[in-house]
A = this chain, B = another copy of it.
Amino acid sequence: MKVTLNRAVFIQELATVQRAISTKTTIPILTGVKIELKESGLVLTGSNADISIETILDKDNEKAGMDIASTGAIVLQARFFSEIVRKLPEDTFTLEVIENNQVSITSGKANFIVNGLDADNYPHLPIVERTNEMTLSVELLNQLISETVFAVSQHESRPILTGVHFVLENQKLLAVATDSHRLSQRIIPMEQGGAFNIVIPGKSLVELSRSLGDKEEDVEISIMENQVLFKTKNMLFYSRLLEGNYPDTNRLIPTSFDTEIEFNVPSFLAAIERASLLSHEGRNNIVRLSITEENVILYGNSPEVGKVEEDLNYEKITGEPLDISFNPDYMKAALRAFGDMSITIKFISPVRPFTLEPAEGQGDFIQLITPVRTN
């Protein structure tokens, strides 16, 4: 195996597969990146227990300016190899397997000889049977992830809740996440048919979103027995699926309310952030929202440190006065998922979950937060 190519292009490919490579794995070969040189181009692979990433650099890629002298494959310790390539002196470099799995890395007058591992010992990636296929744009998939993944549980006590539940049926794709204190659900109409019901680990989705970046292209999604594959033109991203039944979240979302208030998100978020400064100092981490006929006031309080109150700007109120307490961190995460828009928060009572929706929405994006009882 021998190839000369552009260093910056290679570094970018390597950085993508490195998202799947952990230095803390118990399987030594998985700390490595598999480098495979084919007639068609260069394939890099990184893998851990949860995800695997494969990138394909086409031999005709102009920026890469690849000169393939001979094909072959090798596994190199990823972190260390990446540091070397980053520090090489010239714009291009040459990678050559010499003997005994040793690799020569040359650029300008600098020459490294590093020990690699036999690529035949690298684990095989799952075989894709191409069932239940679906196509989404990168932009829509990233939006779906960012609108739900923050609400997955961070605790392994109920592993199924650490994933996002994706359900495709009746030409609708539903994505929902909940940690049992709050919930976020997005529904997207689909032109394609098909049906599936899977739970993808939240951590996999975060890495997927980072790997996709903001490319303007489509992602093909294939589902296997216990794996899902996201495929773009130059990348294959595999994630394991979570096993088990996801709870029925639909019955959690209330449909009739007694108090509704409309806020501008950035201004309400800034007030929540101020109030949470004090709630974070206290033991309970709660803030209180008081809605009366005269005004809407947000209170934060910590007996040792002090208190804050703020007369909030709002856009519209209907219904009954209400006094409700909640964890401001759930509210902050919920508001950030909406971005710069107006939302309607709908309440039933101080002890029942309340919903948040875009003011202009038609129920396709809804969030739920459980309040904290204070007496």
Contacts and interface: CB of A to CB of B under 8 A. Distances in A.
B281 A80 contact: yes
A89 B270 contact: yes
A310 interface: yes
A332 interface: no
B270 A87 contact: yes
A274 B113 contact: no
Contacts of A273: 87
B270 A306 contact: no
Contacts of A281: 80
Q: Which among A88, A89, A274, A306 has the greatest number of chain B C-beta atoms within 10 A?
A: A306
Say which size band chain A's interface belongs to: 20 to 34
Interface string A81-104: 001100111000000000000100
B305 A114 contact: yes
A311 to B, nearest CB: 4
A270 B107 CA distance: 13
Contacts of A309: 110-111
Interface in A200-258: none
A275 B271 CA distance: 52
A23 to B, nearest CB: 13
A276 to B, nearest CB: 9
Contacts of A102: 306
A305 B59 CA distance: 29
A306 B114 contact: yes
A110 B309 CA distance: 6
Contacts of A77: 305
A102 to B, nearest CB: 7
A345 interface: no
A274 B115 contact: no
Contacts of A310: 109-111
A160 interface: no
A130 B20 CA distance: 61
A306 B112 contact: yes
- Most chain B C-beta atoms within 10 Å of own C-beta, residue among A112, A113, A270: A112
Interface string A294-331: 00000000001111111111000000000000000000
B87 A277 contact: yes
A273 B277 CA distance: 44
A57 interface: no
A190 to B, nearest CB: 41
A278 interface: yes
A157 to B, nearest CB: 32
Contacts of A109: 310-313
B111 A80 contact: no
29 contacts: A77-B305, A80-B277, A83-B277, A84-B277, A87-B270, A87-B273, A87-B277, A89-B270, A89-B271, A102-B306, A109-B310, A109-B311, A110-B271, A110-B308, A110-B309, A111-B309, A112-B274, A112-B278, A112-B306, A112-B307, A112-B308, A113-B306, A113-B307, A113-B308, A114-B305, A114-B306, A115-B304, A115-B305, A115-B306
Given A89-B274, A112-B274, A112-B308, 18 more contacts: A80-B281, A80-B305, A84-B274, A84-B277, A87-B273, A87-B274, A87-B277, A102-B306, A109-B311, A110-B308, A110-B310, A111-B308, A111-B309, A112-B278, A113-B308, A114-B305, A114-B306, A115-B304
